[in-house]
């Protein structure tokens, strides 16, 4: 029989999480995949009341992409956290080579993680229904970011497929605070962002809340160490 991640006892998982979050060489590599290395220092950003860093977020989105290759899951592509700053700074030319090995239009959902003034948020572009949604756990508005990314899609389509994307067919929307789970502190935005991606990549309703965050942080430590989403 195929052993699922759930054959690990809760005590074992807890022990492993505590060890990774505990004392040790900050440079020690605890997990590597997707051309990324996660050190103990990176894992420590998943301790309560810490801000998640780029490494943890990019690795987690790598796990989301990996799972999306399974049957019955929407096909997902996630850009790195460094994509939007590069696009903003250098325009389309600055990122046109980022997708030379991938046709993003073959995917159902594209995620763009965003870090603005130390705050993480997420854009989800659903190619199945031609929508671009902005998810922010502090309820901020991201209409301008959605516009930038729609323009990126148009240029990418032109460049890679020599086709015109009709912008008028697309629906752009910043999720209002009452529409999605919101954070009530100054440090959980990265976890919210990862969980938005986790749930959306399964076409699941966003049914979590602030109270889930300490549990999600522990769970993410385990998932990163084992390179599999529970």
Catalytic residues: 119, 136, 189
CA separation, residue 20 to residues 28, 30, 212 (Å): 10, 8, 20
Give the closest residue to 219 by CA, choosing from 62, 9, 54, 46.
46
Residue 82, classed as helix, strand or coil, is coil
Farthest-apart Cα atoms in the chain, separation:
55
Interstrand relation of 131-135 and 171-174 (parallel, antiparallel or unpaired): parallel
Residue reference for tokens 């705050």: 119
Per-position b or e across 165-194, b if 16+ CB within 10 A of its CB: beeeebebebbeeeebbbbeeeebbbbbbb
């Amino acid at each position: 029989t195929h052993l699922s991640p759930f054959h690990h006892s809760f005590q074992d998982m807890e022990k492993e999480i505590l060890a990774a979050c505990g004392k040790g060489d900050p440079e020690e590599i605890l997990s590597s995949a997707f051309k990324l290395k996660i050190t103990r220092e990176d894992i420590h950003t998943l301790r309560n009341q810490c801000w998640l860093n780029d490494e943890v977020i990019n690795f987690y989105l790598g796990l989301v992409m990996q799972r999306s290759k399974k049957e019955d899951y929407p096909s997902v592509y996630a850009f790195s956290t460094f994509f939007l700053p590069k696009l903003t700074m250098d325009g389309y030319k600055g990122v046109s080579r980022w997708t030379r090995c991938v046709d993003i239009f073959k995917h159902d959902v594209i995620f763009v993680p965003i870090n603005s003034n130390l705050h993480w948020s997420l854009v989800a572009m659903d190619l199945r229904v031609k929508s671009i949604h902005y998810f922010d756990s502090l309820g901020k508005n991201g209409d301008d970011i959605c516009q930038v990314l729609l323009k990126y899609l148009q240029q990418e389509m032109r460049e890679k497929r020599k086709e015109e994307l009709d912008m008028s067919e697309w629906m752009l929307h910043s999720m209002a605070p009452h529409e999605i789970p919101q954070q009530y502190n100054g440090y959980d935005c990265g976890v919210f962002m990862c969980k938005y991606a986790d749930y959306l990549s399964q076409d699941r309703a966003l049914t979590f809340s602030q109270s889930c965050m300490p549990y999600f942080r522990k769970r993410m430590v385990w998932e990163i160490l084992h390179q599999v989403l529970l």
